């Protein structure tokens, strides 16, 4: 019973970015979900682990805990932990930050497409002027 009272008192002091979803970077590419369950399960009940499997998401994972305090303990203890010769970067998942990054990537792709179109248009105009000049 004292543990519940302690947790409730501590919950009022948790920073706003703390949540039960963790974003893990700098994982070895060959690590399996079972190994991650072994590492992160030491700090509490893990609800789900999503391991990055595409080329641009390899070495990353999302770890979702049942309880926010278990997630906080994992961040406190595993950030900088050496796994397979790599030091883990364990962060709280912040959806707004990920959306901004995705928006920036989308804008960059759109900009590259526009540049390609302008370059093609300039080339066609130059070719047209060259053929009219002959």
pTM above 0.75, yes or no: no
Give the total residue count for the chain. Answer: 134
Query: What sign results for the dihedral spanned by CA atoms 90, 92, 95, 97?
Result: negative
- For 33-86, how does the pLDDT look when each residue is reduced to its tens digit (9 = 90+)? 899 999 999 999 999 999 988 888 899 999 999 999 999 999 999 999 999 899
3-state secondary structure 49-72: EEECCCCCCCCCEEEEECCHHHHH
Q: Average pLDDT for residues 22-35, to the nearest whole number?
A: 92
């Amino acid at each position: 019973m004292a543990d519940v009272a302690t947790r409730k008192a501590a919950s009022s002091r948790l920073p706003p970015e703390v949540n039960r979803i963790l974003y893990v970077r700098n994982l070895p590419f060959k690590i399996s979900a079972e190994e991650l369950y072994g590492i992160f399960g030491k700090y509490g009940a893990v609800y789900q682990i999503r391991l990055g499997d595409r080329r641009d998401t390899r070495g990353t994972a999302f770890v979702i805990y049942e309880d926010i305090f278990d997630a906080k303990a994992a961040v406190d203890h595993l950030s900088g932990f050496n796994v397979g010769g790599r030091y883990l970067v364990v962060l709280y998942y912040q959806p707004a930050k990920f959306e901004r990054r995705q928006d920036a990537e989308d804008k960059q792709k759109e900009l590259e497409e526009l540049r390609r179109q302008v370059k093609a248009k300039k080339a066609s105009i130059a070719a047209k002027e060259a053929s009219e000049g002959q």
